[in-house]
Structure 1
Amino acid sequence: MSDVMEYKCPACGGAMEFDSKTQQLKCPYCDTQISVEEWERQNAKDQGTAQWTSTGNETWSQEETQDMKVYVCQSCGGEIIAEQTTGASSCPFCGNKIVVKGQFAGDLKPDRIIPFKLDKKAAKESYKNHLKGKSFLPSVFARENHIDEIKGVYIPFWLFDSDIHADVSYKAEKIRVWEQGDMEYTERKSYDVKRGGNMSFSHLPVDGSRKMDNTLMESIEPFDFAEAVPFQNAYLAGYFADRYDVEAKDSQERVTQRIRKSAESAMSQDMEHYTSVNMAHSDIHILNAEYMYVLYPVWLLSTTWNGEHYLFAMNGQTGKMVGDLPADKQAFWKYVLSRGVAIGAVLYGLMWLLMLL
């Protein structure tokens, strides 16, 4: 078997790439298209080997990893994996140059993958739209901000399923104010409110990459797991895959916090009839916890402006774009002062009216 494996076009022999629009492998030379499953069947028949399959948390086989390389960023230390034919010149996380480390080996094989649904063109358009309507964005940012790289990267996520039982207690208060004659009366009633129940969480994601900001990844949620398919190497053609460096057990604290926050929020619903509600105690029991390892599609846009690096991320399935933007401090304080002057003028006018009455 060859030391280098390509997703060769059955018509012309060129290196095929996964096309997000057609959800098939496509040849950039002769436009031949073929489904991932059909390519795998043909390749397995041609090579005389079994078809690749994915069954929960198995490891990579030697045949699967021999066509993949590890690229390492000398600045942030990020490691990504890609097929050997994928060109790599800069890090999708920090924009600095990356080098080939060597053959990829080890780690768990993903259980599922959501293939890219949107292409690079859609990522550029989403980025432009993201800049529109930002009140305090410097006016020159959109013109001068230079896009260094746009790369499609499969980000590793741990998905957690869990049943929970929650017992939450609150201190609540009702306040009623009324006037009678020249007197104003205030009535306060205090309540001890207790709520409990069972809840289920399915496919709650936590990214498995230390170099990816957790808040950034949570901001591009949700991903629709219904479109996830069993992992096959061919989906990586033309893209990168971030190599996970956070174990599932190390993600449990974060997912527990997310579950706790969601459960407490759900328990506090429909309490508008109280004037104030404060949580007194929360007891969340997590039951039947399970997890799986998946790859989700993300477009990363690395940009530079005024010597500063900015990273934008777009959900490669839904098109949701997020990323920090610089603020025009002069415009911000001008807005604050103008609003302050306007509010001050209104208050001054009201005071004069009261004095005249």
Structure 2
Amino acid sequence: MSVVAYKCKNCGGELLFDPDTQQFHCEYCGSYFSREELEETPPEKPADDPLKDEEFYQQAVEYVCPNCGAQVVTEESTAATTCYYCHSPVVLSPRLSKKLRPDRVIPFALKKEEAQQAFENWQRKKWFLNRSFLSQSQLDKMVGVYFPYWKINCRTRSHLEASAAKIRTWRTGDREYTETERYHVVRGGRVSLENLTFTAMNREDSDLTRGVCPYDFDKAVDFSMAYLSGFQAERRMTEKQDIRPQAKEKIEQCTRQCLQNTITGYTTVTVDSTDYLIEREDWEYLLIPAWILTYQYRGKEYYYAVNGQTGKTCGSLPLSMGRLAALFAGVTAAAFLLLCLIGGFLL
């Protein structure tokens, strides 16, 4: 398998994506290059030739973890030899299907050091955390990973009918009166929905990425293999047809809510029916960034994630049984002492 890497035009050193500058940095001579400069093609190709499916096919490889089943996409020059989920040895596959090339990507905006600092700030208040989790060797296992999502923008022609009521209550003397006016409300029109997202993973830990949402999708750019330099990406496991049922349900729910929000001035509103027709539907296969740290403790796996764009954190931590036992012993001793003092006072 040939090695394809992104090399510095000045010194030939390896280029890595820098979240701070949103450019590609040479760690040897300090040069910076934009994505456009990096993707300049050889003289025999047109200078404006975009990245094609064939190029993705040639440059992207996949590793498969035989232990947990993780399937991760990276560039051919990856140094990854262990699974970032369970740290088991992995096997590099020679080629990926061309259809798995993403449409868009949200580049990392958070450096690894910043993600590690976010983790330290998060766990600092966790008094019952197992101390071994805080070692530098654990923090060094943090990996930058792009997670696959389907994003939908659509426009619907919608119609909603509802029963509404205005209720007025007043009192005259000792008697209370209630007046109810009932209305048949109709709403209709075109509803545009943007950035409806659905995970393209079928792993149980996909909830981890939901925990660090939201992302600013306006910062998404056209996909380039260069953005995988120094990072990894989860392989897409679901296709459009797999999530279309839940997508239709979400579209109907959002459409109904948009129309219902226009019904105001009533005491009660009950939606009787909603009909909609999708006039336009645009799908994008998108990669979103997250820093991931995994930890195995007493046979159980713990996961921690940092939003690679905003720094939002989410995860679970192993508790220290010794610290819990110490707290329980301290509380028990304090309660016993208090009972003794109360007993002595009563005697």
* Corresponding residue of 2:197: 205
CA displacement 1:220-249 (0-9 Å, x = unmatched):
444333332222211110000221111122
Contact 1:115 1:235 in 2 (8 A): yes
For residue 313 of structure 2, what is the amino acid of its counterpart? M
State the distance in 2 between where 1:257 and 1:216 align: 23
Give the alignment partner of residue 143 of structure 2, picking from 151, 154, 167. Answer: 151
Residue correspondence of structure 1 range 237-276 to structure 2 within 5 A: 237-269=229-261, 271=263, 273-276=265-268
Contact 2:148 2:287 in 1 (8 A): yes
* Corresponding residue of 2:96: 105
Q: Percent identity?
A: 33
Pairwise CA RMSD of aligned residues?
3.3
* Corresponding residue of 1:44: 42
Contact 2:24 2:33 in 1 (8 A): yes
C-alpha distance 307-144 of structure 1, shift in aligned 2 (>3 A): farther
* Corresponding residue of 2:159: 167
* Corresponding residue of 1:226: 218
- TM-superposed CA distance for 1:114, in Å, is 2.1
For residue 168 of structure 2, what is the amino acid of its counterpart? R
Residue correspondence of structure 1 range 1-357 to structure 2 within 5 A: 3-41=2-40, 44-45=42-43, 48-49=44-45, 53-54=49-50, 59-61=53-55, 64-92=56-84, 94-108=85-99, 109-130=101-122, 139-141=127-129, 145=133, 147=138, 149-211=141-203, 216-269=208-261, 271=263, 273-304=265-296, 307-323=299-315
Contact 1:6 1:15 in 2 (8 A): yes
- TM-superposed CA distance for 1:119, in Å, is 1.4
State the distance in 1 between where 2:283 and 2:25 align: 33
For residue 139 of structure 1, what is the amino acid of its counterpart? W
* Corresponding residue of 1:341: none
Q: Secondary structure at the match of 1:125?
A: helix
C-alpha distance 24-212 of structure 1, shift in aligned 2 (>3 A): farther
C-alpha distance 263-27 of structure 1, shift in aligned 2 (>3 A): same
For residue 122 of structure 1, what is the amino acid of its counterpart? E
State the distance in 1 between where 2:160 and 2:315 align: 35
State the distance in 2 between where 1:7 and 1:277 align: 60
Contact 1:156 1:208 in 2 (8 A): yes
If the length of structure 1 is used for normalisation, what is the TM-score?
Answer: 0.75
Q: Secondary structure at the match of 1:60?
A: helix
C-alpha distance 267-213 of structure 1, shift in aligned 2 (>3 A): farther
State the distance in 2 between where 1:184 and 1:273 align: 23
Return 80-89 or 122-131, whichever deviates more.
Answer: 122-131
C-alpha distance 35-285 of structure 1, shift in aligned 2 (>3 A): same
* Corresponding residue of 1:336: none
CA displacement 1:244-266 (0-9 Å, x = unmatched):
11112222222222222222222
- TM-superposed CA distance for 1:325, in Å, is 6.9
State the distance in 1 between where 2:205 and 2:278 align: 26
Contact 1:4 1:66 in 2 (8 A): no
For residue 254 of structure 1, what is the amino acid of its counterpart? Q
State the distance in 1 between where 2:210 and 2:11 align: 42
State the distance in 1 between where 2:307 and 2:218 align: 15
For structure 2, the residue ranges without an aligned partner over 5 or more in a row are 325-347
Q: How many residues align?
A: 316
For structure 1, the residue ranges without an aligned partner over 5 or more in a row are 331-357
For residue 30 of structure 2, what is the amino acid of its counterpart? D
C-alpha distance 175-118 of structure 1, shift in aligned 2 (>3 A): same
